A = this chain, B = another copy of it.
Amino acid sequence: MKILIVDDDDMVTESLSIILSVENEFEIVGQAGNGLEAIEFCRKNAVDLILMDIQMPVLDGISACKAIKKSYPGIKIIMLTTFHDYKNIHQSLQAGASGYLLKSDDFEKQKMTIKTVYAGLPIISEEALKSFTENKTDEKLTPRENEIVELIANGLSNKEISQKLFISEGTVRNTISIILEKLELRDRTQLAIYYWQKR
């Protein structure tokens, strides 16, 4: 299995190369420092699978993933990152990634992930999966504020929220103002999107 490792941190590409090349199945055919280099490499070399960082200079991993998948749909791509928010998972999957794993996952898991993806099954790491399912409270917000966020994210109007919580509509509006300011959002719709799409 010809593997290309893409990460702007040489420490990461180097250590991954060493660890993975222990396995006979894996053949590290190249390393790239950003998305553009990865695309270049795929054009010139045979690659089966790419381990790709998300945050990189020049061209980020998600854009590179899109481009590579378009030109070479046969190449499997596993996103590799320390950030594991919902947004990145979602975007990566939309960009055509077959999986997602954390640099902090142990090596046995990483190897298993690579083999499984190569076998044609998409996979996400346990930690990444957690970010799908973990509860959506924001530590920047108070309990009451989080409660209201959840109601907004379920499509309730201010009047409905006030009735459900037995408080005045004015209070609901004030609280939402504070929430929006804290989260740097503009309106309840962006808040609902933030709730479901991000984190």
Interface residues of A (CB under 8 A from B): 90, 93-94, 109, 112-113, 116, 119-126, 129, 132-133, 152-155, 157, 185-190, 192-193, 196-197
Contact = CB atoms under 8 A, between A and B. Distances in A.
Contacts of A132: 90, 93
A-B pairs, top 8 by smallest CB distance, nearest first, are A155-B190, A196-B196, A93-B133, A122-B129, A189-B189, A94-B133, A123-B123, A116-B116
Contacts of A129: 93, 122
Contacts of A125: 121-122
Nearest to A94: B133
Nearest to A96: B133
A156 to B, nearest CB: 9
